[in-house]
Structure 1
Amino acid sequence: MTRRKWVLFAAMCLIWGVPYLLISASVAEVSPAMVVFSRTAIGAVVLLPFAWRQLRAVWAHRWPVLAFALLEMVGPWFLLSDAERHLSSSLAGLLIAFAPVLALVVARVIGLERRIGRLRVLGLVVAVGGVAALGGGGMEASGAWPVIEMLLVAVGYAIAPQVAAVKLREVPALPMTAVCLTIAALISAPFAAATWPTTTPSATALGSLVLLGLLCTALAFLLFFRLIAEAGPARATAIAYVNPVVALALGVSLRGDPLTPLIVAGAILVLAGTFLATRRTRNESPTPSAPTPAEHEGAPAA
């Protein structure tokens, strides 16, 4: 890892740890649909000029691309934005860390994973225990539905890479991302129009929406694809273990989210369990040649 690669890696760890905080600030004044529309429309406008020469390859796989967009962006980002009206940005970030664990389960069910070793099973158990510890430590939501929404987000993030693995191996990542953002913007536009705020949101909310689109969506994907090209997908996906820590730190320091010893222990268990659950041992059968989420869309991005 060169200094340039470390800078890219650190930038991505920070950029994809920030959205939870920005979404929380935005949904305090605008609807979840407005959040989704704003960030995807801005992201699409910025990325399409970089991708238009390769759009034919995306069109040739239009139905799997549509499915991927629904599972990776439209559904998860609506659910995430709605959930953050009722739970802290810290808890949202830590629950998203559970996505790779669910991805392993999905891969096993559909046959992309032939065998899950004992170490990875232990990781599954540890990660589930970590989620339970977060709730017991005072990091609570106002009801069960927001937590269910976050788990559904994780399910979407778990299934989408499997669609990419089976149907989208030949589609370049940048144009596919630009098209997926465009699809998400078009789908969310009528919902955003129907929930348009009657009063002008504050500078904080408007600034959060702009940053979500420019920094956490458009620039984030450009930098992430560069990181993949220079450091490889295996190292690039390691940001998934750091993003939740950034989200927790920002939530505690800037929004006053609770931080207790049990929450710290729960966060460590979630991240350690995710690491173990996604770590292959020598005795396990390799997954049939399939790309990681990073090769197509990046580690789960809020």
Structure 2
Amino acid sequence: MNRRAWLLFVLVSVLWGIPYFLIKIAIDDLSPMLVVAGRCAIGAAALIPVAALRGTLTALRGRMRVVAGLAAVHIVGPFLLITYGETHISSSLTGILIAIEPVVIALLMANSEPITGIRTVGLVTGFAGVVVLVGLDVSGDRWGLLGAAMVLLAALSYAYATRMVQQRLSDVPPDALTVGTTTVSTLVLTPFVLFRLPDAGAVGVDSWLALAGLGLLCTALAMLAFYRLIALAGSNRAGLVTYVNPVVAVLLGVVLLREPVGVGTAAGFLLIVTGCWLSTRPVRARAEEPVPVG
């Protein structure tokens, strides 16, 4: 990857390690549905003027059906799953479970990048990490298991969305694509929260600030950077941002929310990261055999 791609990689890694912490704060006073709808609306409102001034919105003409599909699998579905999932599990565990995404991307891209023996070992190792996390950290807690399952389903959705962007929408400017997906998501979710708004006086300042951060930083800015990263580095490498996300999520959860980190969490995290690294290693082209002369 070139320097710009690396800068985008670091930026997205940090920005997408923060949401789990902010979601935990926001859902103290706001419903999960309102948190998701609110961050989408804030993200769209921030980016529509930017895209309009740049004249990139015309790139969405004739593409809205695909953009709506992307909004479903990259925003509406996973955002809701993660936000509701965090009502049952910690923000640090959520961030770690999302790290399985590169393994899923490797499977989805198997046709273009074959799964070698090393990659197979990586896939098995990553899956073992998930088993350790779910088995040790939330065993015996049916609501914890439900929350973990929701987050894992969100990781699957994220992986499919990443592949979808590379294969079908890589030619759409990132600002226009982000406007399209956040606007569609806002329109879909608003009816579900419009008549269930909380009493403003019952919502703390921390929750409002967390929601603003989710919309401006973790949605608008992060998606702009991520879509551009996919265009520069491809979906497999872009998906590797989830290597760093858990580190940020765990640090914020432990330091600021005082969430516990057990042996299962540490072991599962190491297995998942190792598995992801092995399963997404680039395939070396086979050296051409010399043609015998004479």
What TM-score, normalized by structure 1, do the two folds share?
0.83
Q: How far off its partner does 1:106 sit? A: 3.1
Find runs of 4+ consecutive structure 1 residues off by over 6 angstroms.
1-7, 225-229
Instruction: Go from structure 1 to structure 2 and tell me whether the alpha carbon gap of 1:155 and 1:226 turns closer, same or farther (over 3 Å shift).
Output: closer
CA contact (8 A) 1:91 1:139 kept: no
Q: How many angstroms apart in 2 are the aligned matches of 1:114 and 1:138?
A: 34
Q: How many angstroms apart in 2 are the aligned matches of 1:237 and 1:151?
A: 15
Residues 78-137 of structure 1, C-alpha deviation per residue, up to 9 Å, x if partnerless? 1111111111101111111111212222334xxx44631111111111111111222344
Q: How many angstroms apart in 1 are the aligned matches of 2:240 and 2:70?
A: 22
CA contact (8 A) 2:60 2:177 kept: yes
Deviates more, 1:258-267 or 1:66-75: 258-267
Partner of 2:183 in structure 1? 182
Q: How many angstroms apart in 2 are the aligned matches of 1:228 and 1:73?
A: 17
CA contact (8 A) 1:84 1:146 kept: yes
Partner of 1:32 in structure 2? 32
Structure 2: stretches of 5+ with no match in the other structure: 287-294
Q: How many angstroms apart in 1 are the aligned matches of 2:42 and 2:183?
A: 9
Equivalent of 2:107, from 105, 108, 118? 105
Amino acid at match of 2:261: L
CA contact (8 A) 1:104 1:113 kept: no
Amino acid at match of 1:105: L
CA contact (8 A) 1:28 1:85 kept: no
SS of the residue corresponding to residue 86 of structure 1 reads coil
Instruction: Go from structure 1 to structure 2 and tell me whether the alpha carbon gap of 1:107 and 1:8 turns closer, same or farther (over 3 Å shift).
Output: closer
Q: How many angstroms apart in 2 are the aligned matches of 1:146 and 1:57?
A: 38
Residues 161-212 of structure 1, C-alpha deviation per residue, up to 9 Å, x if partnerless? 3333332232222211111011111111111213322453111111110111
SS of the residue corresponding to residue 282 of structure 1 reads coil
Q: How far off its partner does 1:228 sit? A: 7.2
Q: How many angstroms apart in 2 are the aligned matches of 1:271 and 1:281?
A: 19
Q: How far off its partner does 1:8 sit? A: 5.7
CA contact (8 A) 1:33 1:195 kept: no
Q: How many angstroms apart in 1 are the aligned matches of 2:9 and 2:108?
A: 28
Structure 1: stretches of 5+ with no match in the other structure: 285-302
Write the mapping of 1:131-142 to structure 2, written as runs, cut at 5 A: 131-138=130-137, 142=143
Partner of 2:172 in structure 1? 171
Instruction: Go from structure 1 to structure 2 and tell me whether the alpha carbon gap of 1:195 and 1:113 turns closer, same or farther (over 3 Å shift).
Output: farther
SS of the residue corresponding to residue 281 of structure 1 reads coil
Write the mapping of 1:245-264 to structure 2, written as runs, cut at 5 A: 245-264=247-266
Partner of 2:69 in structure 1? 67
Q: How many angstroms apart in 2 are the aligned matches of 1:144 and 1:107?
A: 29
Q: How many angstroms apart in 1 are the aligned matches of 2:229 and 2:173?
A: 15
Q: How far off its partner does 1:239 sit? A: 2.8
Q: How far off its partner does 1:237 sit? A: 5.0
Partner of 2:50 in structure 1? 50
Amino acid at match of 1:262: G
Instruction: Go from structure 1 to structure 2 and tell me whether the alpha carbon gap of 1:241 and 1:36 turns closer, same or farther (over 3 Å shift).
Output: same
Q: Number of paired residues?
A: 280
Q: How many angstroms apart in 2 are the aligned matches of 1:163 and 1:183?
A: 17
Q: How far off its partner does 1:77 sit? A: 0.6
What TM-score, normalized by structure 2, do the two folds share?
0.85
SS of the residue corresponding to residue 171 of structure 1 reads coil
Identity %: 38
CA contact (8 A) 1:42 1:213 kept: yes
Q: How many angstroms apart in 1 are the aligned matches of 2:82 and 2:138?
A: 17
Pairwise CA RMSD of aligned residues? Answer: 2.7
Matched, 1:191 2:188: no
Instruction: Go from structure 1 to structure 2 and tell me whether the alpha carbon gap of 1:2 and 1:232 turns closer, same or farther (over 3 Å shift).
Output: closer
Q: How many angstroms apart in 1 are the aligned matches of 2:104 and 2:10?
A: 26
Q: How far off its partner does 1:13 sit? A: 2.8
Residues 258-293 of structure 1, C-alpha deviation per residue, up to 9 Å, x if partnerless? 212332121111111111111222158xxxxxxxxx
